[in-house]
Amino acid sequence: MLHQESNRNSRPPSNFLQENTNLPSSHGHWRQTICEWGYDVVDHFKFNREVVEIFMNYLDRYVSSTLSKGVNLSRRSFQLVAVSSLYLSMKLHGEADDPKKMVKTIDMSTFVKLSRNIFPEETIEEMELDILFTLDWRMNPPTMARFITDFFELFPSRPPAVLIERSRYVAEMSVCVASLSIEQRPSVVAFSAILNAMDSMNMMSLQHEIYQVFLDNIERATSLSKKMSKIEEVRAMLNNMCPIPTDDVTLSLEDSNDSFLSIYNHTLRTEHFASGKTSP
């Protein structure tokens, strides 16, 4: 997935917001409002929240491509692209947030209602095809959510559930912020979110050693280090956007495996990750 992340076709150009002076001043507000709406829709239908990150990737890439051709988008056109992008992402990546839950089938009529009947089915279908062709049918972008999942595969024992949830929460909030989700690489934001979540939790000395092994594994696999200036910059941005108060949670020994054998064996998984054999 690191290789996929470096592919310029999988993400919008990081500087497209600064370079496109034709963007209306309200674009940032439109984008944030649409992103929050996406989370409301996904939560209502009980889909995995990663769908919103993918939907925003489609939206940002389409807007970037359109602007590069000298075509401006009105607010109505932006709404149409957003509705159609969410429909696409839910169809292609609409896994349930809990495998045991039944997921409703999302049909086009539902999205016509979601658009308050502003856009008829035919219009949404036409835009759906336009998005697919504009994005060259590259509909599986790298996401912060997937990086967080893969990074925790490098944890030397069973990672604490509260740490995973806090990391995901911070990453999800960053999707609505263009300076993070567009201008920064997903792997960098994901790693920064994990570091911020770790700092919010109290850890005993033994657990601190295990966490250090975790960070060393990530650095070996990805070259990402908490000492990197880019990581420090993104962590500060995340803290400013979504501060996590330090609490009194002290993880129990049940959440840590202090077996040296476990840590040694985990190195094999680190090498597997670094070799690029993780799921795309």
What is the predicted pLDDT for the residue at 270?
42
pLDDT of residue 275 exceeding 90, the answer is no
Q: Which two tokens stand for residue 223?
A: 């070259």
135-148 residues labelled b (16+ CB within 10 A) or e (exposed)? beeebebbbbbbbb
For every residue of 112-164, DSSP letters joined together read HHHTTTSS-HHHHHHHHHHHHHHTTT------HHHHHHHHHTT-SSPPPHHHH
For every residue of 167-183, DSSP letters joined together read HHHHHHHHTT-HHHHTT
Terminus-to-terminus CA distance in the chain, angstroms? 5
What is the predicted pLDDT for the residue at 144?
96
pLDDT, tens only, 152-201? 999 998 888 889 999 999 999 999 998 899 889 999 999 999 999 998 88
pLDDT, tens only, 208-258? 788 899 999 999 999 999 999 999 999 999 999 888 766 554 444 344 333
Q: For residues 88 and 68, which has the higher predicted lDDT (pLDDT)?
A: 88
What is the predicted pLDDT for the residue at 74?
85
HSE, side-chain direction, 13 A CA sphere, residue 195: 25
Q: Which two tokens stand for residue 4?
A: 């996929």
What is the predicted pLDDT for the residue at 245?
67
| pTM listed for this prediction | 0.82
Q: For residues 11 and 266, which has the higher predicted lDDT (pLDDT)?
A: 11
Q: Give SS3 for 227.
A: coil
What is the predicted pLDDT for the residue at 72?
80
What is the predicted pLDDT for the residue at 122?
92
